[in-house]
Amino acid sequence: MALDGASPRTSTSHPVTSVDAGRAVALPESQTAVLMLLTSGGSLADHEMTALAAKHGISFSPQRLRTARSELAEAGRVVLVDGEFRLTKSKYRAQVWALADRVAA
């Protein structure tokens, strides 16, 4: 916990600037952006989500979008599409994500 009583989104060993940066992250907005991208783009791999975000002028970093997607997956709002993969530019397989309410159980 920081001196002001707020819990930072970094470990206690990080410098004050990291704590400030962690507090500045717009969690609801980045999660909303991921939900919007998955709504408009359907099922997406992280690299596709990043490309679609850039196309729509969404300014979150790729890491922030991945973290927001992970947070939404933890909350059960985004799920892996079972058995579906997309190739990255480097020809590696990437997992595909979709809105939980759009994936058949």
pLDDT tens, residue by residue, 2-44: 444 445 455 566 665 665 666 556 668 999 999 999 999 999 9
What are the structure tokens assigned to 46, written together?
């992280």
Question: What percent of the chain stands above pLDDT 70?
Answer: 72
pLDDT at residue 6 in the model: 47
Contact 19, 1 (CB under 8 A): no
Please check the confidence at residue 46 and state whether its pLDDT lies above 80: yes
The architecture in CATH of the region 26-102 reads: Orthogonal Bundle (1.10)
Amino acid identity for residue 47 in this structure: H
Structure tokens given for 10: 């970094």
Over residues 75-102, mean pLDDT: 97
The residues pairing with 85 across neighbouring beta strands, listed in sequence order, are 95
The domain ranges of the chain are: 26-102
Q: Report, as an integer, the average pLDDT of 64-82.
A: 97
CA-based torsion, 73, 78, 82, 87: positive or negative: negative
Mean pLDDT computed over every residue of the chain: 85
